[in-house]
Chains A and B, each alone.
Chain A
Amino acid sequence: DTAVSQTPKYLVTQMGNDKSIKCEQNLGHDTMYWYKQDSKKFLKIMFSYNNKELIINETVPNRFSPKSPDKAHLNLHINSLELGDSAVYFCASSQADRDAEKLFFGSGTQLSVL
């Protein structure tokens, strides 16, 4: 039973399109995250949500809009995709008040913008 699952695993699309990535966690965690991993493997926080409330928005273009319908789900919608958006996007979750250092990551969504 996958703890943090995200779909799709691969996303290939044209510049200018809009796409969404979905994430669900079944760990009962209170905090969920989106991280971006670029081609050099650098992992950077994009957003952090605690109990459905946005708490970190790390200077991400407003073409990226996260949505958390409930504690177990965090989706990422991207408008007007650009070449530079190509990367692997990871969803993660944690119980931040108890084990803040322990993030559970999904297996990633590889986004390729052509």
Chain B
Amino acid sequence: QQQVKQSPQSLIVQKGGISIINCAYENTAFDYFPWYQQFPGKGPALLIAIRPDVSEKKEGRFTISFNKSAKQFSLHIMDSQPGDSATYFCAAGYTGRRALTFGSGTRLQVQP
């Protein structure tokens, strides 16, 4: 029930294209859904987060879409750039449990 399933495992996108990563969860107690970006040799860093009272959140080129009834959420990276090449993790958490459950990660490669 604590699982968050993430796909695809890896993704290759051309510069300027749209990168889409999907996640699904089971536990309806989850009430916040962040995305983290990790570069090699570094710790993950928060990219963008959403709470289930909204269906979409946009920050610059990054957008989270959230579908509460389907228990799914996704990250869209518009106009993907080579500098976006990194591993992306979706995560979920709920008030009262002081820990995030992470998806398995997506390795994104943006080709110039």
Across the interface, do B42 and A107 meet the contact criterion of CB distance under 8 Å? yes
**A87–B82 CA distance with the chains assembled, in angstroms:** 28
Known: A42-B104, A56-B97. A100 touches B32 (CB 8 A): yes
CB distance from B38 to the nearest CB of A (A): 8
**A102–B45 CA distance with the chains assembled, in angstroms:** 9
Summed over the interface, the residue pairs from A and B with CB atoms below 8 Å come to a total of 63
Known: A42-B104, A106-B43. A101 touches B97 (CB 8 A): no
Is chain B's binding surface mostly helix, strand, loop or mixed? strand
CB distance from B108 to the nearest CB of A (A): 12
Known: A100-B95, A100-B98. A105 touches B104 (CB 8 A): no
Across the interface, do B34 and A56 meet the contact criterion of CB distance under 8 Å? no
B101 on interface, CB distance cutoff 8 Å = yes
Contacts of A102 in B (CB 8 A): 34, 46, 49
- In this complex, the interface size class of chain B, counting residues with CB under 8 Å from chain A, is 20 to 34
Across the interface, do A43 and B98 meet the contact criterion of CB distance under 8 Å? no
Contact with A along B30-41 (1 / 0, CB 8 A): 001110101001
Contacts of B97 in A (CB 8 A): 56
- Give the contacts of B97-112 with A (CB-CB under 8 A): 97-102, 104-105, 107
**A48–B97 CA distance with the chains assembled, in angstroms:** 9
Question: Smallest CB-CB separation from B102: which chain A residue?
Answer: A43
Contacts of B95 in A (CB 8 A): 100
Contacts of A58 in B (CB 8 A): 99
Across the interface, do A101 and B43 meet the contact criterion of CB distance under 8 Å? no
Across the interface, do B87 and A96 meet the contact criterion of CB distance under 8 Å? no
CB distance from A32 to the nearest CB of B (A): 10
**A45–B78 CA distance with the chains assembled, in angstroms:** 31
Contacts of A94 in B (CB 8 A): 98
Contact surface of A with B, Cβ cutoff 8 Å = 4, 31, 33, 40-45, 48, 50, 55-56, 58, 90, 92, 94, 96, 100-103, 105-108
**Closest 10 pairs (CB-CB, A-B):** A105-B43, A101-B34, A43-B102, A45-B99, A101-B49, A101-B32, A41-B105, A96-B98, A48-B98, A48-B99
Q: Taking A33-B99, A45-B99 as given, write out 5 further A-B residue pairs in contact, using a Cβ cutoff of 8 Å, ordered by the A residue number.
A: A40-B104, A43-B89, A43-B102, A101-B33, A101-B93
